[in-house]
Structure 1
């Protein structure tokens, strides 16, 4: 290469370098870089504005955010059960003490009251960590956490984080700080399955939110950072140390923000939470109570779908001590005798009971069965079994209320005499009917009072015809029984319709309440944070029976307890009235009884697998199960424990007759020694001194009358069974005994009660 070539080569090599450097400089001048930076900023701002206007605050929270527990409480406010997808009960911020509110702000976001809803530094740090795949990061404000809890999913993505920023800005602009804090406290998760501060207060300290102290609030606020790790019952020694440090940090921040004085801060001691307890469920009687309460609310207009979303606090009239007393009574007096493995009848035995306060109408105790998870049918509300003879008082009430008379025109009162002959054909009825008495027993002439005491079917079958079956149904429905289950047939006088213990308790509570209707009610109050309270009717209604009628029925039913089929419930510490009942083929047995303070219906039912109704005979290893047996024994055991201060109360009755009122002083009722027109009964004094309309001065049920004259009775010749006229009466007032549906002969002359008597069945 020549010198010239070398020179050109060197020049070429020098000229080659500056050319690319010039191109880079021209491409990345400071002006272009600054313009690009501002362009990106403008695009970012434009994107932010676009995102702000594009992302709207959702109209409602997510289902998981709004779903709450429905809380059921006893009458005294103690929790009976929580149901629902989440253990949450929202409470208004006003129920959270201000110093407890401050513990959460101090722990999570002490500038909450002054910021605009977001922490950009913390948020972008969180986005950067998310992009790096490091998962959930802190740095969010209370507003952001509320937005995440209430409006958004819990997924960790950049788009979700950007939504959180925008919605937080809008929420902060649209809502007050109090509303945001309210939402935050009620949507946060505190561990132990508790969502919201109320559920957390119960889970950790067994108290309501309004009762929390500063120390307790600081612990709950500390939990939000790591609920499971900081749960005192689950925490490792390190976890306990960390939560105590965060608890102290929270209180120190409160001092810094001047929400707590230094002196008060120094007084604070860490309040160790209580051990966790199982969430209240639907085992035992609880399931029956919860389902019955729901059914009642739905019947009064509460929307079932909305109710399923939760947030309701439902207060029942159930008193915990009475509920436990009822459950114990069933266990002691019935289930302790049953051996389902040994006896089929024991496997089929079901019992239901409802106890009502007659002054309020509230159901204070209910027994639905062995357990909702074992037997889902609530035996206290089921209406598929016959109430049997517990229906008889309604027949008497119908007669008294309507001033009914017998077929021969005699007013029906407790002292009216009927023929209690077994299988006696009813006269004046709508169809042939001749029901048997229990054990096929005949009672002959018997007063209504004695017929009620001994539950004589033939008497009340005839009385049903006397008052009219349509009138009887009207009375029964006015007292709360289900008319749809009541066929207007003669058999209804034997309680052949279906009824529940709750319904029968309501009927008898109306008697106890002097004729003013009582509709047994389980729910006393139902509240929701946003939905209006349902319009629950007053359990105490209008006067459906006159006081005289209701009190007379009570007076008569006192006799069933004192001298009838329910002597098993006698107790010197209280006055009681009631009626037993045993249905056809012993498929059900009842006792419905009451004191001045408490009305309780107990029904026992034979139910085989598949719901088939079967006999109770043999249950407990005995024979027939009567209402005066297990049902009455359960009733008595329950009342002995439940009455308390009400045990000594006495009935205040406006009644002229019946076992529950004192008889008037004896008077001379003997008529002159002249013939009394045939068929017109004369009043005579019963052995108790209570006036009766029985022409036969005996209440023993003996169909052969006795002579009350001084001379021996000389009965006349009796009538025939075909209904011929009875023979003449004997001397000294002996009565002619008439045949079936015949007319008694004329009474003989003498000093005894004269006058002929109609044939036995003509007495009705």
Structure 2
């Protein structure tokens, strides 16, 4: 109670009387205690940061900002002409030695009056980019403020601009991401919206935007994608061109990945749905529309042969770096920056190796295809990528027959199965994870599995519902991992994948360099049923060749534009799997060359000259793709052949009987191309420097009993030292020179000791007898 009484009430009448007497005596009553210093401090803070002062400061800053903006508005005028980049310059592309490979820079632009573009088509662009275009003041203040803040904080640029702002940036300003450029864009957009009509701005926007395929403006785009004039476009076609502007290189139907095609279709639907929402298109018309697949592109002059593939791949690499460094906010902006020209791009492509790879494909494949004699020969596509495993440099690339004839780059396409070239990844995962069989035995190069075709894969005593067939439904019975790799036995690696754990297999695949974003961890993946490109597989094998240290293939060496230099990432990364695991896989893969599916095409090649080689063949389901990915200590090259119908819609087709062969196998044309190229450019003979306790596996000392469960590893001494009573090893020891004849019991069909044909006069590798039973 006392705590709630005033001081006077607490003193009371008696207290007041005493106080009077004390004053009369000249005394003083004790002064009341002061408030605590904490209370005083809080009062000081309140006086310092009172709501009036905060509000005053806020309004002061607002007035200051308004004043600054008014000053900017008065100082900045609409430029009298477009910027320098509005007239595109040339890009220069160079080989690794600095010699010029190509120039790309002729402007493909034709300005058309807006009245020549159907109104419905015009509306597709508004629906795609800026639905409030006809109502707004030309700017998106929230988006611009966000962009300025992101630039100031170093978080890169961000989109969200209006059509007016995009036109101002494209035509009057530049693509650079700076605060001053964003403020100029804002002011000029406001003034332009006040001084010019919406039709004027829209016409400028669709006539200056970049649509991909070297097409600037809607007229050039209409011709590039539909072989029509802008005035003849329909709404569906217009919606596709409008959708393209978000990411021209990614959304070009001719080269888009499966994901890219899904994205552009979704964007196309978004545009049309917005038009219905704005009542620019009726629901019945919308319901009847079908996606308008564009025509195949016509490559620009000077891009013939392999140059077009190399230039496009280099551009794609540069665009990704511009986005990664925050120089561009999106692939759309990066696309515009690269195609504006003025770049000098040096590739890692070695001029001599590039020529050698092209020559090898022509002599070992193209010259043997005769579409007039066999229709299937017209459906065979080749792709290849060659990488230096020590530096990560892509030293050669083969994209296809000719950029003018086949626009898709076969070296970078990811829509075909790598098939058995994936098996080394499974073995690498087993070694890295120190996995065991279902019987609890460590998985090594000499572990014995049941190689019976269509054998049910088991896990913890139960069937997993997967029983893959071996090539030609061949049964191998008890077979070592080494021999299973040599013969590419599906049933063995399907069981091994489950023993390792498919999630672990996918994890190791990603570490080695494969794109695992959409790779399901299911047993069927052990057959290499995912999609992959020759460039991707070259990177995986380069990481194995580099003793488990990550190699990311690098096509571009440097890129410079005026005073700007784009930094390229280091292709050599960290240790992603142990050296012993990587080196053991390499050791095992030497057996594929010397005693397995690649022996006829590679082992006996007269230009091999003792060169040690590791590699793996692959032939996909229904013979739609065939591969050979192989390496020496200095060079990794992946070659793929793909069956593709040469008429739209370019579906995957089998290659049976192509080139006069019953089946196109990885040990056939792909291995021949690989050998002719590699042995022609390899230089000095080299040996693998392997750090492995396993070495090349040896056959078991006993004959395991076949069971439905995986058989146990044979009880024998380490595989690097074969017991005296055992048969000779299935492959050579890494330290020894390749023998003139196989070290194993001769195969059923023994390769001839000498070529069956006379080598060409120019020294190209001979064409050996085709093997009768490749994987």
Question: If the TM-score is normalised by the length of the shorter chain, which range does it land in?
Answer: 0.5 to 0.7
- Match for residue 625 of structure 1 among 661, 664, 677: 664
State the TM-score, normalizing by the size of structure 1: 0.54
2:690 matched residue in structure 1:
653
* Shift of residue 698, structure 1, vs aligned partner: 10
State the TM-score, normalizing by the size of structure 2: 0.54
2:105 matched residue in structure 1:
84
* Shift of residue 691, structure 1, vs aligned partner: 6.4
SS of 2:368's equivalent?
coil
Measured against aligned partners, the alpha-carbon deviations of 1:206-245 in whole angstroms (never above 9, x if no partner) come to: xxxxxxxxxxxxxxxxxxxxxxxxxxxxxxxxxxxxxxxx
1:437 matched residue in structure 2:
470
- Match for residue 355 of structure 1 among 386, 394, 404: 386
1:486 matched residue in structure 2:
519
1:281 matched residue in structure 2:
302
**Contact 1:80-1:280 at 8 Å conserved across structures:** no
SS of 1:301's equivalent?
helix
Q: Does 1:584 pair with 2:617?
A: no
1:511/1:63 CA distance change after superposition, 3 Å: same
1:154-553 equivalence runs, <5 A: 281-301=302-322, 303-428=334-459, 431-530=464-563, 532-553=564-585
1:548-627 equivalence runs, <5 A: 548-567=580-599, 568-570=601-603, 571-608=608-645, 609=647, 610-627=649-666
Q: In terms of Rg, which structure is larger?
A: 1
Measured against aligned partners, the alpha-carbon deviations of 1:13-69 in whole angstroms (never above 9, x if no partner) come to: xxxxxxxxxxxxxxxxxxxxxxxxxxxxxxxxxxxxxxxxx9999698744786311
**Contact 1:686-1:697 at 8 Å conserved across structures:** no
1:6-21 equivalence runs, <5 A: none
SS of 1:580's equivalent?
strand
* Shift of residue 281, structure 1, vs aligned partner: 1.4
* Shift of residue 84, structure 1, vs aligned partner: 1.1
Measured against aligned partners, the alpha-carbon deviations of 1:473-507 in whole angstroms (never above 9, x if no partner) come to: 11111111111342222110010000000000000
**Contact 1:591-1:627 at 8 Å conserved across structures:** yes
Alignment partners' CA distance in 2, 1:613 and 1:690: 46
**Contact 1:449-1:658 at 8 Å conserved across structures:** no
1:69 matched residue in structure 2:
90
Alignment partners' CA distance in 2, 1:66 and 1:690: 72
**Contact 2:346-2:556 at 8 Å conserved across structures:** yes
1:680/1:346 CA distance change after superposition, 3 Å: closer
SS of 2:616's equivalent?
strand
1:430/1:470 CA distance change after superposition, 3 Å: farther
1:658/1:687 CA distance change after superposition, 3 Å: closer
1:283/1:365 CA distance change after superposition, 3 Å: same
Alignment partners' CA distance in 2, 1:470 and 1:615: 31
Q: RMSD of aligned C-alpha atoms?
A: 3.2
* Shift of residue 85, structure 1, vs aligned partner: 2.5
1:64/1:409 CA distance change after superposition, 3 Å: closer
Alignment partners' CA distance in 1, 2:445 and 2:373: 46
Measured against aligned partners, the alpha-carbon deviations of 1:407-453 in whole angstroms (never above 9, x if no partner) come to: 01000000111111111111107831111111111111111001000
1:406/1:56 CA distance change after superposition, 3 Å: closer
1:690/1:307 CA distance change after superposition, 3 Å: same
Alignment partners' CA distance in 1, 2:449 and 2:95: 48
2:752 matched residue in structure 1:
none
Alignment partners' CA distance in 1, 2:717 and 2:451: 20
1:535/1:686 CA distance change after superposition, 3 Å: closer
**Contact 2:694-2:718 at 8 Å conserved across structures:** no
1:142-161 equivalence runs, <5 A: none
User: How many residue pairs align between the two structures?
Assistant: 441
Structure 1 unaligned spans of 5+:
1-53, 88-150, 152-278, 671-678, 701-764
SS of 1:300's equivalent?
helix
Greater shift in the superposed pair: 566-575 or 619-628: 566-575
SS of 2:566's equivalent?
coil
1:626/1:60 CA distance change after superposition, 3 Å: same
**Contact 1:460-1:493 at 8 Å conserved across structures:** yes
**Contact 2:695-2:719 at 8 Å conserved across structures:** no
Alignment partners' CA distance in 2, 1:493 and 1:563: 22
Alignment partners' CA distance in 2, 1:321 and 1:486: 37
1:60/1:506 CA distance change after superposition, 3 Å: farther
1:575/1:307 CA distance change after superposition, 3 Å: same
Greater shift in the superposed pair: 372-381 or 66-75: 66-75
**Contact 1:686-1:698 at 8 Å conserved across structures:** no
SS of 2:565's equivalent?
coil
* Shift of residue 688, structure 1, vs aligned partner: 9.6
SS of 2:517's equivalent?
helix
**Contact 1:390-1:590 at 8 Å conserved across structures:** yes
Alignment partners' CA distance in 2, 1:509 and 1:380: 16
**Contact 1:515-1:546 at 8 Å conserved across structures:** yes
Alignment partners' CA distance in 1, 2:464 and 2:316: 39
Structure 2 unaligned spans of 5+:
1-74, 109-171, 173-299, 324-333, 703-710, 731-775
